[in-house]
């Protein structure tokens, strides 16, 4: 339990900082009357992401080529290992993306041009992501079933891809509405 809490808190900290940095950067770079630019960029990123996740674009997804280090648990102990793992995944932009939808999150945090909202977006993303770590143990009768659960999840990639597209659509449309305010 302490490991899950440490994982969640470290990830929340990392996500908040990255989201705030992106939002603040957008605020500095984007002009005051950036509405049309934000609308165009959001629509472009949203459509490109959907095309990528549907397999219409054959190029490899632009993403970091690394994953969290599974040796951390052995080297630093389970508590610090979980903390480092959460922090690393919470950064979002340092590890592989499961779907291209992560680009919509990154671009949205930048395009809103506000550190607080950018931070809230990344924190919300992280809370959704960390939820599975809290829920997964409740799903199973024992820890030895985790590999089988992951196999089951992988067998349902199409369903998760559809849910991802729903998230992309929701975030893109709401960003378009936000930019028009």
Options 1-9, 30-38, 77-85, 125-133: segment touching other proteins (CB under 8 A):
125-133
Q: Is 113 in the site for other proteins (CB under 8 A)?
A: no
Question: Which residue, 33 or 144, is less far from other proteins as judged by CB?
Answer: 144
Cβ at position 74, least distance to other proteins in Å: 19
Give residues 6-65 in contact with other proteins (rule: CB under 8 A): none
In angstroms, the CA 34 to CA 27 distance is 10
C-alpha dihedral over 29, 64, 19, 167, to 10 degrees?
A: 110
* Residue 115 C-beta-side C-alpha neighbours within 13 Å: 6
Cβ at position 131, least distance to other proteins in Å: 6
In angstroms, the CA 72 to CA 79 distance is 10
Which pair of tokens denotes residue 110?
């930048």
DSSP designation for 113? -
Please select the residue that binds other proteins; options are 17, 86, 99, 107, rule is CB under 8 A: 99
Options 24-32, 55-63, 69-77, 112-120: segment touching other proteins (CB under 8 A):
112-120
In angstroms, the CA 86 to CA 133 distance is 11
Which pair of tokens denotes residue 78?
């389970």
Contacts with other proteins, residue ranges (CB under 8 A)? 96, 98-99, 101-102, 104-105, 108, 112, 117, 120-122, 124-133, 135-136, 138-141, 145, 147-154, 157, 160, 163-164, 166-175, 177-178, 181
């Amino acid at each position: 339990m302490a490991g899950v809490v440490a994982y969640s808190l470290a990830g929340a900290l990392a996500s908040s900082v990255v989201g705030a940095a992106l939002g603040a950067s957008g605020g500095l770079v984007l002009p005051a009357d950036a509405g049309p630019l934000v609308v165009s960029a959001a629509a472009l990123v949203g459509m490109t992401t959907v095309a990528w996740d549907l397999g219409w674009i054959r190029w490899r997804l632009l993403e970091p080529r690394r994953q969290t280090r599974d040796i951390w648990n052995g080297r630093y102990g389970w508590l610090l290992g979980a903390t480092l793992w959460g922090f690393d995944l919470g950064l979002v932009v340092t590890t592989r993306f499961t779907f291209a939808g992560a680009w919509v999150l990154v671009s949205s945090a930048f395009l809103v041009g506000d550190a607080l909202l950018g931070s809230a977006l990344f924190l919300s993303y992280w809370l959704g992501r960390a939820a599975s770590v809290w829920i997964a143990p409740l799903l199973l009768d024992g820890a030895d079933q985790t590999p089988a659960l992951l196999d089951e999840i992988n067998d349902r990639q199409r369903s998760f891809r559809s849910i991802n597209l729903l998230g992309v659509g929701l975030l893109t449309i709401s960003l378009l509405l936000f930019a028009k305010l």
